């Protein structure tokens, strides 16, 4: 029954793409928030995600989350709890380091301080990677849960046992949590006073200052929140993916591609950008060799940048 | 001509002085220490594998020095010089360049774990005439006509040619049925490709099987759904699964369990040490690994109980993987060569290794129990080992002289 087989392959790829894409989407949202508000290209975002993965891992194994919530709920509680410590860590990083090369004080500099920002975030990335190797070691770890090797089985939808779709439980729950966190962030940005100050600081920092908004504080909140959200995404990934201190390198390119695809400055766009990356990555294997799945991402990425440089949801003009 | 007493005295004094001088010169030529290099990844995704090699080498050097160092060099101590090969072939090559430039008195080195790293690094060491021992598998390593590269492992292609018929036989005797179809799921690293090439090319002619699914991926995977879906839909009798990254191994093994193919339902043969690392226990769990086999060039085995016990005490690692035992053995090969060469000279040591043919000493740490290299630098009759997860531990099940347990062919349920 080759037709049913083909249909099963397509649905399975679609399912994998959606589940992986939702997680990529949340990673991209964190980076998109930082870029959207601060206009800072944060090369250390993947490494902050790595810190989130380790935070979730130690919360789960050593700090009692597994004992309290068990191997089913524990991984997701640990992932969410990884957000606040990384929020505080990022707050401190901004306060002590990043604030010196961002914000209003560098607008008059050549390239609006981007060169210093690139160097600083790259330096932070290297420190986190190598410091992580020194402190945490090179042994790959992951949050173990029975959910990562079990699935919700849908089907068989046809006779003779054909057309069964396996939806991985760990990935499905991670995807749901990702969507919930992304929606929560959007509500926060659109409905709260603090969220509005972030938008004001993003749209026109000068005008925001005139309106009495503390732009530097808004940047600090955006940076810490962006890192915290990516840390939660990392915590969610930690149950299906063994990681070492170098794991961030594997994801930072995906994050940037997602943010650019979605449209720089758009938080919702960043989520959909990540989702599209996940879908391309998985669906491309239906027609291309698996070795080329990441190549396919960048071919589509280049096409979109060529045809729609502002991304799916980006603004086509420079901000005022 | 008559000799006066004065002449005899002078001659005696001269001889004494000359002898003393000779002894002093001899002592001056024997260095207080001999440098041996270890070029392995200590950062990046393969750091864990390099770390195990470092510990194996350090243990061997400590043992050699505690037992008197290199006797032929007046007890010179061996000193390990460790270099990080990093996470790319470019970094491995740069590290090799640093090694040959900064350590001109180094006599030998070992490395670099990944075949692609070894291929890059040995381009440098060959030019510097520095001998390099390696446990890497790729067929290319000793296929380039180099004179200073010595491969202690059986090449990946040879491993496949030897192991697959053995495993087929095992399947037939255990299940009463010889596998007729095979699936290949491999990453695209040099060693993995070398392992699957003979199966791809000679499946029917040599092994009597048909390849029904053949997938190659670039590590690291983000998700294994599509790969395992294809295996599930083609239903091979056996899966060949060479893999080098632990995250890929976890994703595939867990996905196989999710799709109802795990825990022996689809007999799976890996290649290399990734699936038998201690880290797999933490990341996947013993129950999902039970029955999984892997073909490796070396593993801890019968007759090595003492060193295994010491390894456990020293490192808290529950068993010695190929990386640990082979690198431990490499240090003993260099020590043996230094004893034969009687000089801390890299060319003399390389020549000693070329002519080495021993069945004791360092041979105890390698399958086949013999160290003899052919003209290309490949260890003759290097053999292989098959390791199988049984009761939460990967145990050697082949060859019989090294096996500590019987192989169990997983029965499909």
CB A286 within 8 A of CB A10: yes
Q: Is the pLDDT of residue B23 over 60?
A: no
- A163: nearest CA partner in chain B: B233
CA distance B336 to chain A (A): 32
- A247: nearest CA partner in chain B: B45
The domain limits of chain A are 2-307
Scanning B235-264 for CB atoms below 8 A from A yields 246-247, 250-251, 253-255, 257-259, 262
Quick one: which of B211, B395, B372, B389 has its CA closest to B287? Answer: B389
Return the CATH superfamily for domain B33-154+302-382: Response regulator (3.40.50.2300)
Cross-chain residue pair B255–A138, CB shorter than 8 Å:
no
Q: Judge whether B33-154+302-382 and B157-296+386-398 match in fold.
A: yes
Choose among B218, B226, B258: nearest Cβ to A168. B258
Cross-chain residue pair A241–B247, CB shorter than 8 Å:
yes
Interatomic CA distance for residues B410 and A82, integer angstroms = 41
First vs last C-alpha separation in chain A: 59
The three-state (H, E, C) secondary structure of B67-120, written as one string: CCCEHHHCCEEEEEEEEECCCCHHHHHHHHHHHHHHCCCEEEEEECCCHHHHHH
pLDDT tens readout for residues B221-266: 999 999 999 999 888 999 999 998 889 999 999 999 999 888 878 9
Cross-chain residue pair A168–B43, CB shorter than 8 Å:
no
Interatomic CA distance for residues B402 and A145, integer angstroms = 36
CB B105 within 8 A of CB B78: no
Q: Is the pLDDT of residue B404 over 90?
A: no
pLDDT tens readout for residues B135-152: 998 889 999 999 999 999
Tell me, what's the pLDDT at B203? 85
The domain limits of chain B are 33-154+302-382, 157-296+386-398
Choose among B51, B216, B259: nearest Cβ to A290. B216
- Residue range B127-136: mean pLDDT, rounded: 96
Q: Which of A305-319, B199-213, B291-305 has the least mean pLDDT?
A: A305-319
Percent of chain B with pLDDT over 90: 61
Whether chain A has a CB inside 8 Å of the CB on B146: the answer is no
Model confidence at B412, pLDDT cuts 50, 70, 90, reads low
The residue written with tokens 């992304």 in the block is: A182
Compute the half-sphere exposure of residue A77: CA atoms within 13 Å on the CB side of its CA: 16
CB A21 within 8 A of CB A271: no
Tell me, what's the pLDDT at B173? 79
Q: Is the dihedral of CA A131, A132, A136, A137 positive or negative?
A: negative
CA distance A130 to chain B (A): 8
For domain B157-296+386-398, is the CATH number 3.40.50.2300? yes
CA distance B87 to chain A (A): 10
Whether chain A has a CB inside 8 Å of the CB on B413: the answer is no
Cross-chain residue pair A144–B217, CB shorter than 8 Å:
no
Cross-chain residue pair A241–B251, CB shorter than 8 Å:
yes
Quick one: which of B266, B219, B211 has its CA closest to B242? Answer: B219
Tell me what the pLDDT averaged over chain B comes to.
88
Could you tell me which residues are beta bridge partners of residue B76?
B70
- pLDDT tens track, chain A, 320 positions: 578 888 999 999 999 999 999 999 999 999 999 998 988 889 999 999 999 999 999 999 999 999 999 999 999 999 999 999 999 999 999 999 998 888 777 766 666 778 888 999 999 999 999 999 999 988 899 999 999 999 999 978 887 777 889 999 999 999 999 999 999 999 999 999 999 999 998 888 888 889 899 999 999 999 999 999 999 999 999 999 999 999 998 899 899 999 999 888 788 899 999 999 999 999 999 999 998 988 999 998 899 889 988 888 766 544 43
Whether chain A has a CB inside 8 Å of the CB on B290: the answer is no
CA distance B242 to chain A (A): 15
- A250: nearest CA partner in chain B: B220
- Residue range B14-25: mean pLDDT, rounded: 46
Whether chain A has a CB inside 8 Å of the CB on B345: the answer is no
CATH topology of domain A2-307: ABC transporter involved in vitamin B12 uptake, BtuC (1.10.3470)
Scanning A34-63 for CB atoms below 8 A from B yields none
The residue written with tokens 């053949």 in the block is: B214
3-class DSSP state of B175:
helix
The three-state (H, E, C) secondary structure of chain A, written as one string: CHHHHHHHHHHHHHHHHHHHHHHHHHHHHHHHHHHHHHCCCCCCHHHHHHHHHHHHHHHHHCCCHHHHHHHHHHHHHHHHHCHHHHHHHHHHHHHHCHHHCCCHHHCCCHHHHHHHHHHHHHHHHHHHHHHHHHHHCCCCECCCCHHHHCEEEECCCCHHHCCCEEEEHHHHHHHHHHHHHHHHHHHHHHHCHHHHHHHHHHHCHHHHHHCCCCHHHHHHHHHHHHHHHHHHHHHHHCCCCCECCCCHHHHHHHHHHHHHHHCCCCHHHHHHHHHHHHHHHHHHHHCCCHHHHHHHHHHHHHHHHHHCCCCCCCCCCCCC
Cross-chain residue pair B233–A8, CB shorter than 8 Å:
yes
Choose among B188, B247, B257: nearest Cβ to A149. B257
Interatomic CA distance for residues B221 and B121, integer angstroms = 26
- For chain A, the residue count is 320
- A61: nearest CA partner in chain B: B282
Q: How many CB atoms within 10 Å of residue B259?
A: 24
Whether chain A has a CB inside 8 Å of the CB on B91: the answer is no
């Amino acid at each position: 029954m080759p037709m049913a087989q083909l249909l099963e392959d397509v649905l399975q790829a679609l399912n994998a793409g959606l589940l992986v894409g939702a997680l990529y989407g949340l990673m991209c949202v964190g980076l998109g928030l930082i870029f959207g508000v601060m206009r800072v290209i944060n090369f250390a975002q993947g490494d902050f995600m790595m810190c989130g993965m380790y935070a979730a891992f130690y919360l789960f194994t050593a700090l009692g989350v597994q004992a309290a919530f068990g191997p089913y709920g524990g991984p997701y509680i640990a992932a969410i709890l990884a957000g606040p410590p990384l929020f505080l860590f990022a707050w401190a990083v901004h306060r002590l380091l990043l604030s010196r090369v961002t914000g209003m004080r560098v607008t008059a500099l050549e390239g609006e301080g981007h060169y210093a920002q690139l160097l600083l975030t790259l330096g932070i990335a290297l420190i986190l990677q190598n410091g992580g190797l020194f402190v945490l070691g090179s042994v790959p770890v992951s949050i173990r849960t029975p959910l990562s090797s079990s699935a919700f089985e849908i089907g068989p939808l046809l006779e003779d046992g054909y057309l069964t779709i396996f939806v991985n439980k760990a990935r499905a729950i991670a995807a749901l949590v990702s969507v919930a966190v992304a929606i929560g962030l959007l509500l926060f940005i659109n409905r709260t006073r603090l969220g509005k100050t972030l938008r004001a600081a993003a749209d026109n920092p000068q005008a925001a200052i005139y309106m009495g908004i503390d732009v530097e504080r808004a940047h600090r909140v955006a940076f810490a929140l962006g890192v915290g959200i990516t840390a939660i995404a990392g915590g969610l990934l930690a149950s299906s993916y063994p990681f070492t201190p170098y794991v961030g390198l594997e994801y930072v390119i995906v994050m940037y591609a997602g943010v650019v695809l979605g449209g720089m400055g758009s938080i919702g766009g960043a989520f959909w950008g990540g989702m599209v990356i996940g879908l391309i990555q998985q669906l491309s294997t239906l027609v291309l060799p698996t070795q080329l799945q990441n190549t396919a991402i960048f071919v589509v990425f280049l096409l979109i940048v060529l045809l729609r440089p502002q991304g799916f949801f980006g603004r086509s003009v420079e901000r005022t | 001509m008559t000799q006066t007493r004065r002449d005899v005295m002078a001659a005696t004094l001269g001889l004494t002085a000359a002898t003393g001088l000779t002894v002093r010169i001899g002592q001056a030529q024997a260095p207080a220490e001999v440098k041996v290099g270890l070029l392995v990844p200590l950062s990046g995704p393969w750091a864990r594998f390099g770390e195990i090699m470092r510990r194996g080498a350090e243990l061997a050097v400590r043992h050699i020095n505690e037992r008197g160092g290199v006797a032929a060099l007046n007890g010179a101590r061996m000193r390990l010089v460790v270099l990080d090969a990093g996470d790319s072939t470019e970094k491995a090559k740069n590290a090799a360049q640093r090694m040959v430039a900064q350590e001109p008195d180094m006599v030998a080195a070992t490395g670099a774990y990944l075949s692609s790293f070894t291929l890059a690094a040995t381009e440098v060491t060959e030019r510097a005439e520095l001998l390099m021992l390696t446990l890497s598998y790729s067929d290319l390593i000793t296929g380039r006509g180099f004179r200073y590269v010595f491969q202690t492992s059986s090449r990946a292609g040879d491993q496949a040619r030897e192991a697959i018929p053995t495993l087929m036989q095992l399947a037939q005797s255990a299940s009463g049925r010889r596998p007729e179809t095979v699936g290949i799921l491999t990453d695209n690293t040099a060693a993995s490709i070398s392992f699957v090439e003979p199966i791809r090319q000679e499946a029917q002619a040599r092994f009597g099987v048909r390849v029904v699914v053949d997938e190659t991926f670039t590590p690291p995977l983000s998700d294994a759904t599509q790969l395992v879906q294809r295996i599930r839909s083609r239903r091979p009798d056996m899966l060949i699964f060479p893999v080098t990254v632990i995250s890929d191994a976890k994703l595939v093994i867990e996905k196989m369990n999710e799709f109802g193919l795990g825990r022996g339902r689809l007999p799976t043969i890996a290649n290399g040490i990734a699936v038998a690392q201690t880290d797999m226990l933490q990341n996947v769990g013993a129950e999902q690994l039970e029955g999984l086999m892997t073909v490796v060039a070396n593993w801890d085995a019968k007759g090595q109980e003492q060193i295994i016990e010491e390894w456990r005490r020293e490192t808290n690692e529950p068993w010695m993987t190929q990386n640990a035992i082979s690198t431990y053995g490499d240090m003993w090969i260099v020590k043996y060569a230094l004893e034969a060469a009687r000089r801390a000279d890299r060319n003399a040591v390389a020549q000693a290794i070329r002519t080495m043919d021993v069945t004791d000493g360092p041979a105890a740490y390698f399958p086949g129990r013999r160290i003899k290299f052919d003209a290309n630098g490949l260890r003759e009759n290097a053999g292989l080992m098959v390791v199988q997860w049984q009761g939460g531990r990967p145990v050697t099940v082949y060859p019989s002289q090294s096996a500590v347990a019987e192989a169990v062919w997983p029965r499909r349920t």
